[in-house]
A and B are shown apart, each in its own frame.
Chain A
């Protein structure tokens, strides 16, 4: 299996060179996609678990990794945004920053998404990297996500007229400056971290990383140990979070923060057209950044496409190198129902909230937008509800 991983890695490299011929960014984003997928797979970076396990087991292991990643990205994003927009006057927002209107759509979207990801056993990024690992249920969940995004495309204009078009975009540097916004964000992340420490101590299960024994101290053994640490065993979750945070900064340097949903909504629009229900022209989306719904342009191969597909490929390579790839078929038919219904809720939630756990949370809080916090708290509420239901499904 390791050999297959090496061969696939080489093929992915060749594909990268060919894609660069299509467009410089198309190739670059392919490389980013591979890296994101690889790191997600290696560190089992599951946002659904992060939110769910707080309530199910009283464990904040993965959430602490997410907080670390966002803290790193906050610093990088702040430096980058202050170079692009030296004076963050009211009404101005840094280009490509994931700042979107704050309102009911964000709260409802977050609750639906949080509930759905707990049922489906993974969020959108989670489903993508698990497809690469061979999980059949994640394909089903992904189908649900496309369906949910399709529904969101058809109801977007109603949402825009009713609410989103009038909801305020709140970018913290506009009134606190970059220093103030960065310090406030880091302080809130620290508070969240401490809250989790307290929650774990009173509630439940503290899951320390399983220590791995070194084999020997000579060079060959240490080399083998390094190989095992990087490619065979799971990474500590904080290592994963920080690596994703750094990759996110680099992606923003290259073009834009990490996001997934916008591209997948383009696929949903395509399927909707094929099914004979073409979605209408979307109101207001050209004024919005982040992972806002899109119908797509004329080009098929875009940088966002290679980013998302690259994530699946990167995860597949990681799983093969680790000897973890396996076609996994759910043992009960009800798991398929959970995957598809959870997927639909996630897709619709991500559609109206303009992003998933990545674009509307992991990239939004470092973008210094209030929307990231509102969406994050709504995810928490949705996951709490999801856990109450999940406990009753054997």
Chain B
């Protein structure tokens, strides 16, 4: 599942990421694409608290993908694919 929140500022990236995490089917990967740096400090702890694993991947200038899944293995798999 991909969620592109580029151009959005707080609180929209976090609100939309929260909604997406709640709807994320078991075993699937959520990729949140953002260019809002504060999201890197708010979305991962939120994921933690909801019991998700996460990883931040830099996607070029001022853009990041936050990879979120219920199991860390799913993220590793996606990274190596």
Contact = CB atoms under 8 A, between A and B. Distances in A.
Interface in B48-76: 48-49, 61-63
Most buried by A among B36, B40, B41, B46: B41
B9 A135 contact: yes
Given A205-B49, A323-B62, A326-B61, A44 B37 contact: yes
Contacts of A134: 62
Interface in B12-27: 14-15
Interface string A41-61: 000101011001100110001
A308 B63 CA distance: 28
A137 B7 CA distance: 9
B19 to A, nearest CB: 10
Most buried by B among A46, A121, A207: A207
A81 B48 CA distance: 45
Given A205-B46, A208-B45, A234-B41, A137 B62 contact: no
B10 A328 contact: no
B28 interface: no
Contact of B49 (A133, A206, A330, A390): A206
B73 to A, nearest CB: 20
Contacts of B6: 328, 331
Interface string A174-212: 000000000000000000000000000000011111100
Given A137-B9, A331-B7, A390-B11, A49 B38 contact: yes
A335 B7 CA distance: 10
Interface of chain B, main secondary structure: loop
Contacts of B7: 328-331, 335
A130 B14 CA distance: 18
Interface string A11-39: 00000000000000000000000000000
A122 interface: yes
Contacts of A121: 9-11
Nearest to A42: B37
Contact of A44 (B14, B35, B38, B62): B38
Contact of B8 (A1, A133, A331): A331
Contact of B41 (A52, A130, A133, A209): A209
A335 B5 CA distance: 13
A384 to B, nearest CB: 14
B64 to A, nearest CB: 10
Contacts of B44: 210
B11 A328 contact: no
A131 to B, nearest CB: 12
Contacts of A328: 6-7, 9, 35-36
A361 interface: no
A207 B10 contact: no
A324 interface: yes
23 contacts: A1-B61, A44-B38, A44-B41, A46-B10, A56-B11, A133-B37, A135-B9, A205-B49, A206-B45, A207-B45, A207-B49, A210-B40, A210-B41, A210-B45, A319-B62, A323-B62, A325-B61, A326-B61, A326-B63, A328-B6, A330-B7, A330-B8, A390-B11
Interface of A: 1, 44, 46, 48-49, 52-53, 56-57, 61, 121-122, 130, 133-135, 137, 205-210, 234, 319, 322-326, 328-331, 335, 390
